[in-house]
Amino acid sequence: APARAPGGALLGFRAVPASSADAVVVPPGYVAEVIYAWGDAIGAPGLAAGQPAFRGDGSHSAEDQQLQAGMHHDGMHFFPAGRGDRGLLVVNHEYTDEGLLHADGMQTWSAEKVRKSQAALGVSVVELARAADGRWAVQRPSAYARRISARTPMTISGPAAGHALMRTEFDPGGREVIGTFNNCAHGVTPWGTYLACEENFVGYFHGPAQPDAHAKRWGLTPGGYGLRWHEHDARFNATLHPNEFNRFGWVVEIDPLDPRSTPVKRTALGRAAHEGAFVTQAADGRAVVYMGEDARFEYLYKFVSRDPVRTGGYANNREVLDHGTLYVARFDSDGTGEWLALVHGQNGLDAQAGFADQGELLVKSRQASDKVGATKMDRPEWIAGDPRTATLYCSLTNNSRRGTDGYPAVDAANPRARNTMGEVIRWTEVGGHAATRFLWDHFILAGDPANERAEARGNVKGDPFGSPDGLWFDARGVLWIATDASPTALGQGDYARLGNNMLLAADPRSGEVRRFLTGPVGCEITGMVGTPDLRTLFVNIQHPGEGGNDPGDPAAARKRSTWPGGGGRPRSATVAIRRIDGGAIGT
């Protein structure tokens, strides 16, 4: 079938229908091929190809897992080499499904299981090459192959490095930390490094029954996510080591080209349940980083570097993200907005307000944002910049508590009560990316026009969707939107007609939205990024079948998935999508 559809200059593919199939469905004329699934060997130097091998029953060891793809692929970037037929794929592994990770599930815990859990998180760096027929494959072995995990040593830099709040029994200097985890979305710097963002870190810690104000503001609880790491790794017992959790929630800079490099947590960018970090540049060359905090009623941030970006790669830009100004957004009801500086001594952020210095202010970024009166948002997730207009887009994925009893009311920027469907908000800086004033509006209120509930109908021109999460602009100016409605929401209530999670393409000028891909049962779609020639789009399928094996869930059968097949457990994976005729994706 022809890949091109008549009409629409920007969106040239045929839409796929909403789907509840346990499959990746792409338009006629396209193919989607799995290239890197949970448990696949990264191709570590010195090992035979394919080693250590994945075991479909989950019986591979923690040490095996450290040299294999982690679980729950999320944000991702392709760093091309040469003419673009090779390159490094860098993939976040956001979280784990412990019931699938271990051969015997999570009824019992051991030090080995905690190590395996920690090894399945973090980041992969794998080398890819494209064959003459257009297919991509991981190169094994590769000198670049690397896993960064919750067990990898890293350094801490910026104003909070060495701060009293960052010092622990294990690291009295407060400048060295083991590991990164819950890396959701990501960023890419102009000097060629990768930013992995630490999102829901707090649930990995065992918190005190009576939390202090700081622990309470960040949501530390005794149960956390039920992972029980603290029983075998004392760092995660926040009742004994209360500062360890201050060392997470940062943006981590990784040099994918140097497999021996030490990742760096950049504290100048603030601490948050960081979804991602979209990097662009001001006209004078300074780096500007936009960051959402995906949590209900949390904030949108921007960092402007002190120094301009220099040519010469990471070697000449090692401290750009250590010096600069952090801001938080306030959206006003007249369609304007302001970036409020989170700088010690400004905007009431002083010792009297609980911030002894800039280091403490950064560790307590949420409290500082509360103090300056920033706008509490409906879960800001990915941010992307239109390459042609310098307008920024951010998905506000959903917030079912908005406007309900005991929670903040609707406001202009977060306009829907019991917001199950989410929005894409956008803004343009008045005077360039380093400016402190902006103009904003909503690009799309997501929803289903057939919904009975007015707040869930939205204003989508084209294929209906909800819970926008991943956003990525291709070089042609298409805004790709990936959805992440939770498996408990999918297929019922406000989502009854929307099918599985999907990837859509939007024309930012006309507002038209067209469904490009639907994912398997229970998965989230995320991580999309194209090759420079746009002949391939890499996409991550996260957590197919989530909840499908939960013995306590009466709806488990409806969520069960066997994707990507092969008879084993369902596996998160990267797929490479290309056109059979070799043309550019989406045209």
Q: Is 97 in the site for ligand FEO (CB under 6 A)?
A: no
- 484 binding Ca ion? (CB under 5 A): yes
Binding residues for ligand FEO, how many (CB under 6 A)? Answer: 6
Name the minimum Å distance from CB 292 to Ca ion. Answer: 9
User: Cβ atoms within 10 A of the Cβ of 293, count?
Assistant: 26
The residue type found at 64 is: D
Q: Binding of Ca ion at residue 298 (CB under 5 A)? A: no
Applying the rule CB under 5 A, the residues between 455 and 474 that interact with Ca ion are: 469
**Residue 275 binds ligand FEO (CB under 6 A):** yes
The two three-digit tokens of residue 278, written as one number: 């979209």
Nearer to ligand FEO, 237 or 486 (CB): 486
Mask for 291-320, x = binds ligand FEO (CB under 6 A): ---x--------------------------
Shortest distance in whole angstroms from residue 460 CB to ligand FEO = 21
Q: Are 453 and 427 in contact (CB under 8 A)?
A: no
Least Cβ distance, residue 277 to ligand FEO (angstroms): 13
DSSP-assigned letters across all residues of 36-68: EETT-B---TTS-TT-SPP-TTS---HHHHTTB
Give the residue among 538, 189, 251, 186 at the shortest CA–CA distance from 383. 186
**CB closer to ligand FEO, 448 vs 524:** 524
Nearer of residues 391 and 501 to Ca ion, judged by Cβ: 501
When CB distances are held under 5 to 8 angstroms depending on the partner's kind, the choice from Ca ion, ligand FEO, none that residue 199 binds is ligand FEO
Token digits of residue 432: 């360039």
The reply to whether 423 sits near ligand FEO by the rule CB under 6 A is no
Judged by CB under 5 A, the chain residues 176 through 205 that form the site for Ca ion are 184
Instruction: Please report, as residue ranges, which positions from 364 to 383 form the binding site for ligand FEO (by CB under 6 A).
Output: 381
Nearer to ligand FEO, 360 or 381 (CB): 381
Question: How many Å apart are CA 472 and CA 531, to the nearest integer?
Answer: 13
184 binds ligand FEO, rule: CB under 6 A: yes
Minimum separation from the CB atom of position 47 to Ca ion (A): 30
Please, which residue, 100 or 485, has the CB nearer to ligand FEO?
485
Q: Which does 463 bind (CB under 5 to 8 A by kind): ligand FEO, Ca ion, none?
A: none
Mapping DSSP onto H, E and C, the string for 158-177 reads CCCCCCHHHCCCCCCCCCEE
Query: Is residue 524 involved in binding Ca ion (CB under 5 A)?
Result: yes
- Give the strand order in the sheet containing 300-308: 278-281, 286-292, 300-308, 324-331, 336-341, 437-445, 423-429, 392-396, 380-385
Q: Are 125 and 90 in contact (CB under 8 A)?
A: yes
Region at 486 (left for phi over 0; alpha for psi -120 to 50; beta for the rest): beta
Distance from chain centroid for Cα 464? 23
Q: Which is nearer to Ca ion, 180 or 397 (CB)?
A: 397
| 8 A C-beta contact, residue 524 and residue 397 | no
Tokens encoding 56: 């479909």
Which position among 94, 98, 322, 360 is part of the footprint of ligand FEO (CB under 6 A)?
94
The reply on whether position 448 binds ligand FEO by CB under 6 A is no
Which residues are paired to 75 by β-bridges? none
Please state, in angstroms and rounded to a whole number, the distance separating the CA atoms of residues 461 and 511.
6
Nearer of residues 361 and 424 to Ca ion, judged by Cβ: 424
Closer CB to Ca ion, 360 or 524, in the complex: 524
Residue 538's identity, in one-letter code, is F
What whole-number distance in Å separates Cα of residue 70 and Cα of residue 6?
Answer: 41
> Which of 367/526 has CB closer to ligand FEO?
526
Number of residues that bind Ca ion (CB under 5 A): 6
171 in contact with Ca ion (CB under 5 A): no
> Contacts with ligand FEO in 466-505 (CB under 6 A)?
none
Which of Ca ion, ligand FEO, none does residue 448 bind to, with CB < 5 to 8 Å depending on kind? none
CA-based torsion, 121, 123, 125, 126: positive or negative: positive
Positions that interact with Ca ion (CB under 5 A)? 184, 381, 397, 469, 484, 524
Positions that interact with ligand FEO (CB under 6 A)? 94, 184, 199, 275, 294, 381
